[in-house]
Amino acid sequence: MSSSTLPPSAPIADQIAARRFPPFSLERLLKTTFDPKPGQKVAILIDLDDPSETKDFVFLNNPDLSIQRHAIESFYKPLNEGLLTKMGLSGGEIFAYKLTGGSNLDLPEEAYNPKGKKISLSQDVYPNYDIILCISTFSATAPLTAFAKQYGFRGATLHGVNEVILSSGLAVDYNEVSVEAEKLRLGVTKADWIEIDFHCEGRDYTLRLILNGQEAQKSHGLCLGDEPDVANLPAGEVYFVPEGAEGEFPHRYEDGTLGRMTVAGGRIVKAVLIRGNPDTVAAHNAKLLSDPVTGELGELGFGTQLLPVSGRDIQDEKVRGTLHVATGRSDHLGGHLVPSMFAEKLNATHDDILFAPHKTPEIIVKRARMKRGAQEEILIENYEPTDYINGLLV
């Protein structure tokens, strides 16, 4: 077992510090996530600014391409140095496509292989492989999920892989992750609404996400059976696709600027500067005005795992006690917002807004509370799960 030795009621930071993980094993990851059948064919996708540098693995000469180096060292080499044979699988090829430049933007059609040959993803890859692992700079979960349903493969997106993620978030037993996620999912599913109270720079804010009794979903790292699907790894969250949203919340931009987001009709409709660079907020407002769907809140997620901070949102949003909302594209989660609904193609991203002590130190999640029929429960207080959430895990 790789779970913490401390009870769920202990502070999250202490539980994470007490947890021990086994060494990363690609074999274990493939078996638990996919349970592949003998003869199934595996491929790897990576993204590069110049995908032609896949030829003879020239890109490995660039020390800045750490994600792509991990794709070679921890995935491509093991597959081709005996793991495929051991598992009775085939393939092991790697292909590189051009960086999309944003989270969950559509993937380009062209790619290159290590021989320098230009290939077509829709003709040479998607229809010809059973399992596709996408180890990339930008998340490809939304487009790859759409392609999986179209072409019938299963896959996993592992963007932003680093040493911390390999030694923790990808080293866990996803059967255990799935069990815990299901316990938490049952505790919040069919909620009417969830309200989040924030505190930032001396002021309180409240955001209400309207759920209307929908079934909660889970990202649990299992992509089993014959149904085409894509797992987002590391996994470990329970999430909703809100049907509406109202209120305000503070947002920390990438440059550290803080803004107050006004939400109406399910969308951010206006940003107001709290502290920082006014040009950052002005640019956001211009984007909201020219392409209003970019402000739509398409996800509310809660982390379920005990994981160390990795510096990558893909893992850090899976930490129990954190929560995130996301704007933009939501079709891969069961939502209605697809790329064609955006005024600009490059705006059709799915962008997570993570609230966590390390990521948003100026913003406190005072509490997140749920209403489900006559039941009202507090789920999180000051980034700590409440007795209600801890009780679900016992």
Residue-wise pLDDT for 332-362, tens only, equals 999 999 999 999 999 999 999 999 999 999 9
Please tell me what DSSP assigns to residue 255: T
318: burial class by Cβ within 10 Å (0-12, 13-18, 19+)?
Answer: buried
Instruction: Provide the terminal-to-terminal Cα distance of the chain, rounded to the nearest Å.
Output: 16
- What is the arithmetic mean of pLDDT over 145-165? 97
351/140 Cα distance (integer angstroms)? 12
Residue-wise pLDDT for 292-303, tens only, equals 999 999 999 999
Strand 118-120's sheet: what is its strand order?
118-120, 110-112, 90-98, 41-48, 131-134, 154-157, 229-232
Tell me which H or E stretch contains 29.
Answer: helix 26-34
Residue-wise pLDDT for 362-375, tens only, equals 999 999 999 999 99
- What is the arithmetic mean of pLDDT over 163-192? 97
Res 304: pLDDT? 98
pLDDT over 70 (residue 13): yes
Share of the chain above pLDDT 70, in %: 99
Residue-wise pLDDT for 81-139, tens only, equals 999 999 999 999 999 999 999 999 999 999 999 999 999 999 999 999 999 999 999 99
Identify any residues that bridge with 380 across adjacent strands, giving them in sequence order: 368, 385
Res 226: pLDDT? 87
CA angle 157, 159, 164 (to 5 degrees): 115
Mean confidence (pLDDT) of the chain: 96
- What is the arithmetic mean of pLDDT over 198-207? 98
pLDDT over 50 (residue 2): no
Residue-wise pLDDT for 256-277, tens only, equals 999 999 999 999 999 999 999 9
Residue-wise pLDDT for 64-86, tens only, equals 999 999 999 999 999 999 999 99
Res 244: pLDDT? 97
Read off the tokens for 371.
């209403």
pLDDT over 50 (residue 1): no
Q: How much is the pTM?
A: 0.94
Res 302: pLDDT? 98
pLDDT over 80 (residue 4): no
57: burial class by Cβ within 10 Å (0-12, 13-18, 19+)?
Answer: middle
Q: How far is CA 84 from CA 89, 135, 230, in A?
A: 5, 18, 20
Residue-wise pLDDT for 290-331, tens only, equals 999 999 999 999 999 999 999 999 999 999 999 999 999 999
- What is the arithmetic mean of pLDDT over 175-201? 98
pLDDT over 60 (residue 228): yes
Residue-wise pLDDT for 18-51, tens only, equals 999 999 999 999 999 999 999 999 999 999 999 9
- What is the arithmetic mean of pLDDT over 140-159? 97
Res 3: pLDDT? 63
